[in-house]
Amino acid sequence: MARILIVDDSETQLYALRKILEGGGHEVYAAENGPDGIDMAVSESPDVILMDVVMPDMSGFQATRKLARKPETANIPVIFVTTKDQESDRVWGMRQGAADYITKPVDRKHLLATIQRILENET
């Protein structure tokens, strides 16, 4: 079981991702925007962060850069989970330090397998 932080401004997406993750035996935390996600990452020290890209106030790309610069969060892997499915978005996301990039709608098996692979690579 992993501790996973979801950062997404959509209640529908938060619910769907939470359902998948809790069904996979994970402990889930949620934040509805980038600044709250950063604060929660610092306070909760999750094993993995699922980050949306398109959010008000601060994009997921910006939030991920800020997380990468903080010593207490720099080693937490971030997986972008977003509707932005252009190759340029994927490349930019990986340049921000993401461990992976998944497009919505999310396939349950693919998401859980990606998280498992990243957790195995972290240990």
Q: Which among 34, 23, 108 has a CA at the least distance from the CA of 5?
A: 34
Q: List the chain domain ranges.
A: 3-122
Q: Please report the pLDDT score of residue 99 as a whole number.
A: 95
Sheet holding 3-7, edge to edge: 27-31, 3-7, 48-51, 78-82, 100-103
Q: Give the mean pLDDT per block of 10 residues along the chain (123 residues).
A: 96 96 97 97 98 94 95 96 91 90 95 96 70
For residue 77, whether the previous peptide bond is cis, meaning omega lies within 30 degrees of 0, is no
Measured distance CA(11)–CA(93) in Å, rounded? 23
Q: Which among 35, 32, 25 has a CA at the least distance from the CA of 1?
A: 25
Q: Please report the pLDDT score of residue 93 as a whole number.
A: 87
Q: Please report the pLDDT score of residue 89 as a whole number.
A: 87
Cβ atoms < 10 Å from Cβ of 104: 16
The strand pair at 48-51 and 27-31 is best described as unpaired
For the whole model, what pTM was predicted?
0.95
Measured distance CA(93)–CA(64) in Å, rounded? 9
Measured distance CA(53)–CA(94) in Å, rounded? 12
Q: Which among 63, 71, 69 has a CA at the least distance from the CA of 79?
A: 63
CATH number of the structural domain 3-122: 3.40.50.2300
